[in-house]
Chain A
Amino acid sequence: MQKRNPAELEIDLLCSGIRIDASCTLTEDARFFARTRAGLGSGLELIIPADRKDLWINIPVEEDFAASSPYKLVKEGEAYLIRDDRDRSLGYAVKIPPQPAWYTGTTSRGTPMSKVGVLQGTYLGIYVSNSCLYWYQNPPVGCKFCSTGLNVGVNEMADKNVEDVVETALAAKEQSGNTFVHFNSGYQAGKGLDTVAPYVKAIKERVGALVGVQVMPTKDLWKYDWLIDLGTDHFSFCYEFHNPEYFEKFLPGKHATVGQKTFFDAMEYTAKKMGKGRNSGEIIAGVEPVEDTIRGIDYITSTGCFPTVCIFRPVIGAEMERYPPPPYEDMVAVMRHMYEACRRNGIPLGMAPNIEVSLIVNPDDAAYLAPPSLGKRWYEAKLAVIKALARPYFSWKMMPRRIRADAEDPAVYRPGR
């Protein structure tokens, strides 16, 4: 069996999961396992060292399919290795990111910081406010792959206090070198952007970090102008499935209350306002036919957004728990297409400093999958130049600064006032 390259290994681990050998001492060596947000981050955080850049990955360990994975994490001396049962001669040296000290710290209000936010790769992920309202309807209309209703209030705080969020983000910046705070929430009955606004402003004014927002989209497009003025650097739009039939079947709440078109309109609007490579469309690969996922990637990149493609993980407790994880070969084809689509559309990838998302195959991770070509070399050279030129801009963006926009009252942005 041929040794996998870093991106191939990343994809295979996301599809297969991993078993943990008794030689491992993860209690001492690793971050604790945290099933927060939608449940995707419930696995083992690990780094695959690579020459171009290290790849961060959150590998399934708790799901049933992980028990029959060919991959096993072992500790030999002080080093961690991934062994592959299919070929005992294969071993992959990996690194386990240690648990940051702030994970066991508390805010001045006494809230455990790890119940406010967690690192998912190198960025700080915070699920704001109450659980997704889809979980409170009878019958529930939550997305069928999601387990958020089982997590909030159990593994993380239900309501996030702004002060707690600021203190946690400051600790993550100082101790973990965090550069990006990502806020998300479930369905908030049309109030997603309103809910997140005070947190965005507080991070910009008192922490100084890049800020991402991932909430249900709104038809009130003027609210995005408000959020941009509050300091939002990035929006992500999780419409999950490009095929409208799959969207309706697996996302009954999103279908009934928001609709796929609202996602598209918001994505196109913010892409036009903010420019290429700033925002993302998020889809799940491995449930709908691969051709639909490819179409989704082509659509997202045509708008100027970059695709964040999650490999479907049948997380514990979700309605789709018993669906099989997707085949490795299909996911390699999808991720290769993702990189090529970004290249064709000139999407700047990997510009912001130190943002590695462990839950997905980052578009620039997939460079390892694309065959060498003149076009690829030109694109990579262009990315390197833009990244160098953009460094001072990002340094400025990550300094705390005064925000004039009002986080509580967006009235001045409302059209026709």
Chain B
Amino acid sequence: MLIDCDNAAAADKISEIEKDPGLALVLEWARDSTFPLRLDAEASFLELAGTSDVEGRPNRCLMKCFPVSGGRYAAFFYKRSLVPFSRDRFAYGAVIRSEKRLSREGAEEWFRWLDGGFHPDVPPGSLKRAFSFDVPD
């Protein structure tokens, strides 16, 4: 489910995302998911944050979903820096899927990983730790 999205900025972001068929699917599955996720209305493309505490600490896990070349989509998993002025991103990897191979079950795995704080024992299937494209800001 999406939380904290009853506001104008989130509504605008949702309208923007729904213009892209792949991102629209992932957004729909996020809404239906059992995991409480927050949509970042300021971020580029579709960015979701885990909201459940992880071992008593705030969840820092983020997933940015965006189109890459060849009609494929990337779900990029990362954390932002804790240093106030730093724009560093700490990557945990990415899953790359063509639009037709996007699935509700696959997306639910991503949401579970976000919610659980990127637990190293249960990464989503086909997670690539290194990839050859730039991740947009």
- Nearest B residue to A152 via CB reads B130
Contact A150 B129 (CB under 8 A): yes
Chain B contacts with A in 78-137, Cβ cutoff 8 A? 79, 81-86, 88, 90-92, 117-120, 129-130
Could you count the A-B residue pairs with CB atoms below 8 Å apart for me: how many are there?
50
B84 and A22 contact, CB distance less than 8 A: yes
A104 to B119, CA, bound (A): 36
A321 engages B85 (CB within 8 Å): no
Output the nearest chain A residue to B59 by Cβ-Cβ distance: A64
Min Cβ gap B55→A in Å is 7
Interface size class on chain B is 20 to 34
A20 in the interface, Cβ–Cβ < 8 Å?
A: yes
- B117's nearest neighbour on chain A, judged by CB, is A322
* Count of chain A residues with a beta carbon within 8 Å of a chain B beta carbon: 26
Bound Cα distance from A35 to B129, whole angstroms: 16
Asked if B60 lies at the interface with its beta carbon under 8 angstroms from chain A, I say yes
Interface of B is mostly: loop
Q: Is B19 an interface residue (CB 8 A)?
A: no
**A26: Cβ under 8 A from any B Cβ:** yes
Chain B residue with Cβ nearest A67: B82
Q: Given A61-B83, A66-B82, is A317 in contact with B88 using a C-beta cutoff of 8 Å?
A: no
- Nearest chain A residue, comparing its CB with the CB of B79: A316
Q: How far is the CB of A168 from chain B (nearest CB, A)?
A: 22
Contact A20 B84 (CB under 8 A): yes
B81 touches A62 (CB 8 A): yes
Is there an interface contact between B83 and A62, defined as CB atoms closer than 8 Å? yes
A319–B120 Cα distance when bound, in Å, is 6
Interchain CB contact under 8 A, B79 and A322:
no
Shortest CB-to-CB span from A316 to chain B, Å, is 5
Q: Is the CB of B58 within 8 A of A67?
A: yes
Distance between Cα atoms of A322 and B55 in the complex (Å) = 9
Per-residue CB contact flags for chain B residues 59-83 toward chain A (1 = under 8 Å, else 0) read 0100000000000000000010111
Contacts of B130 in A (CB 8 A): 153-154
Assess whether A2 is interfacial by the CB under 8 Å rule. no
Distance in angstroms from A2 CB to nearest chain B CB is 28
Which residues of B sit under 8 angstroms from A318, Cβ to Cβ?
120
Contact A26 B57 (CB under 8 A): no
Determine the chain B residues whose CB is within 8 A of the CB of A62 once the complex forms: 81-83, 88, 90
Residues of chain B contacted by A68 (CB below 8 angstroms): 57
Q: Which residues of A contact B81 (CB under 8 A)?
A: 62
Shortest Cβ gap from B91 to chain A (Å): 7
Contacts of A153 in B (CB 8 A): 130
Most chain A beta-carbon contacts within 10 A, residue among B60, B83, B118, B129: B83
Residue of A nearest to B121 (CB): A319
Are B85 and A27 in contact, with the CB atoms below 8 A?
yes
Question: For the complex, is B41 an interface residue (Cβ under 8 Å from A)?
Answer: no
Question: Are A322 and B83 within 8 A (Cβ)?
Answer: no
A307 within 8 A of B: no
B84 touches A64 (CB 8 A): no
**Inter-chain contacts of B60 with A (CB < 8 A):** 64
Q: Is the CB of A317 within 8 A of B91?
A: yes
Nearest-CB distance from A213 to chain B (Å)?
Answer: 27
Say whether B57 contacts A64, CB under 8 Å: yes
B125: shortest Cβ distance to chain A, in Å?
14
B54 touches A (CB below 8 Å): yes
**Could you tell me the distance in whole angstroms from the C-beta of B119 to the nearest C-beta in chain A?**
7
Q: Which residues of A contact B83 (CB under 8 A)?
A: 20, 26, 33, 61-62
* Distance of A321 Cα from B117 Cα, bound (Å): 10
Chain B residues with CB below 8 A from A33, complex form: 83, 86, 88
In the assembled complex, A192 has its CB within 8 A of some CB on chain B: no
Does A149 reach chain B (CB closer than 8 Å)?
yes
A153 to B85, CA, bound (A): 24
- Residues of A within 8 Å of B120, CB to CB, are 318-322
Interface positions of A from 316 to 343, Cβ below 8 Å from B: 316-322
Residues of A within 8 Å of B82, CB to CB, are 19-20, 61-62, 66-67
What distance in Å separates the Cβ of A116 from its nearest Cβ neighbour in chain B? 20
Residues of A within 8 A of B84 (CB): 20, 22, 24
A26 touches B91 (CB 8 A): no
Q: Note all chain B residues with C-beta closer than 8 A to A150.
A: 91, 129
Give min CB distance, A302 to chain B, whole Å: 36
Nearest-CB distance from B133 to chain A (Å)? 13
Counting from the closest, the 4 A-B pairs by CB-CB distance are: A319-B120, A316-B90, A64-B57, A62-B82
23 contacts between A and B (CB under 8 A): A20-B82, A20-B84, A22-B84, A26-B83, A26-B85, A27-B85, A33-B83, A61-B83, A62-B82, A62-B83, A62-B88, A62-B90, A64-B57, A67-B82, A150-B91, A150-B129, A316-B79, A316-B90, A317-B90, A317-B91, A317-B92, A319-B120, A322-B54
Known: A19-B82, A26-B85, A153-B130. 7 other contacts (CB 8 A): A20-B83, A64-B54, A66-B82, A67-B57, A316-B79, A322-B54, A322-B55
